[in-house]
């Protein structure tokens, strides 16, 4: 197809979808004001098409979806964003439409949401966009606690040779397996990630590994996971939870001085509410030390065993 013919086809498609979508909206309200607004937008789309400003024409169609989203008319908004994804050639606009579609889909009944995503997938041949839509489908399942179905999506994507980020898929399968209490299955997927030291998902994988190991009552392994996080990710947003859980694990193992050590670190940086909880915990540790001091040499637990940790 020649360049001129491509432009004419693009102009026609955008014009058509704009006309149909605006007509659907205007048909809901027969008052004069909505009619004037409809024809104003309709003329704007025609104007942008005539001057070959396709981006503005597409954005105007997309803006209707945003307006419907703002009004919490999620089903109509989903239809709008779906049309943009199917018809636009503008990658930036499509990505924005995908992001908004994902938000409104999470407000719909899962069956309806899945039907809409499936319809888009069936209308497209672009593999990369289809991958994005399958991930969107998995999020709908997760939001509705349909974890088995989410695992099926991620597992199917793992079979696709061109999927760009298999580590992400293994992480998501592990996350859903933890919700399903399939802790050993989760650890198998996590191991694939942790074997790759430079993975972007190293931190999340270690935390999921801690959750799975602790749930399996593998206290030593769970402690090692948290120590690895403590050492390698000092700026993590989960710093408080990591240190507090370390203190509890060492208390559970009877290593009270180490537990006290980590609680003191938390106390120095905690909020007033956190300090109240930490102080009560420190008092428990002190009492445990007094009870235990005659039978156990607590000083042999004065420092964590860093040698067991993996090197990055």
11 domain residue, yes or no:
no
Whole-prediction pTM: 0.72
206 domain residue, yes or no:
yes
What mean pLDDT is predicted for residues 251-280?
90
**Same domain, yes or no: 56 and 146:** yes
Specify the 3-state DSSP secondary structure of 181: coil
Q: Band the pLDDT of 65: cuts 50, 70, 90.
A: very low
Of the given ranges (186-195, 220-229, 301-310), which has the lowest mean pLDDT?
A: 301-310
Residue 278 sits in which domain range? 243-297
- Count of the separate structural domains present in the chain: 3
Is the per-residue pLDDT at 295 higher than 60?
Answer: no
124 domain residue, yes or no:
yes
Is the per-residue pLDDT at 20 higher than 50?
Answer: no
Specify the 3-state DSSP secondary structure of 124: coil
7 domain residue, yes or no:
no
141 domain residue, yes or no:
yes
Structure tokens at 179: 């919700």
Interhelix angle 166-179/202-215, rounded to 10 degrees, is 30
Q: Encode pLDDT of 158-179 as tens digits.
A: 999 999 999 999 999 999 999 9
Of the given ranges (85-89, 109-113, 214-218), which has the lowest mean pLDDT?
A: 85-89
**Same domain, yes or no: 287 and 208:** no
Task: Say which CATH number the domain at 58 has.
Answer: 1.25.40
274 domain residue, yes or no:
yes
**Same domain, yes or no: 52 and 147:** yes
Is the per-residue pLDDT at 30 higher than 70?
Answer: no
* Chosen domain end from 236, 269, 285: 236
Closest CA to 173 of 203, 144, 135, 210: 135
Q: Band the pLDDT of 199: cuts 50, 70, 90.
A: confident
Structure tokens at 193: 């990630």
């Amino acid at each position: 197809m020649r360049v001129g013919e491509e432009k004419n086809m693009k102009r026609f498609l955008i014009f058509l979808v704009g006309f149909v979508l605006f007509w659907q909206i205007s048909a809901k309200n027969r008052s004069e004001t909505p009619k004037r607004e409809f024809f104003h937008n309709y003329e704007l789309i025609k104007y942008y098409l005539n001057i070959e400003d396709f981006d503005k024409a597409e954005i105007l169609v997309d803006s209707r979806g945003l307006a419907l989203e703002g009004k919490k008319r999620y089903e109509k908004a989903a239809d709008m964003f779906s049309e943009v994804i199917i018809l636009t050639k503008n990658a930036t606009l499509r990505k924005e439409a995908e992001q908004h579609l994902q938000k409104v889909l999470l407000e719909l009944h899962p069956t309806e949401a899945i039907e809409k995503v499936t319809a888009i997938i069936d209308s497209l041949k672009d593999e990369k966009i289809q991958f994005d839509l399958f991930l969107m489908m998995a999020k709908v399942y997760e939001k509705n606690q349909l974890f088995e179905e989410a695992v099926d999506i991620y597992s199917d994507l793992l079979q696709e040779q061109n999927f760009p980020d298999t580590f992400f898929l293994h992480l998501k399968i592990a996350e859903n397996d933890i919700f399903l209490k399939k802790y050993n299955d989760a650890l198998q997927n996590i191991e694939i990630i942790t074997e790759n030291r430079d993975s972007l998902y190293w931190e999340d994988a270690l935390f999921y590994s801690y959750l799975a190991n602790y749930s399996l009552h593998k206290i030593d392994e769970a402690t090692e996971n948290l120590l690895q996080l403590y050492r390698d990710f000092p700026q993590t947003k989960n710093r408080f939870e990591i240190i507090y859980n370390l203190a509890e694990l060492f208390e559970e193992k009877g290593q009270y001085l180490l537990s006290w050590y980590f609680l003191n670190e938390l106390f120095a940086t905690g909020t007033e509410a956190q300090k109240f909880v930490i102080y009560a915990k420190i008092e428990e540790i002190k009492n445990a030390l007094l009870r235990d001091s005659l039978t156990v040499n607590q000083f042999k637990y004065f420092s964590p065993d860093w040698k067991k940790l993996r090197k990055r």
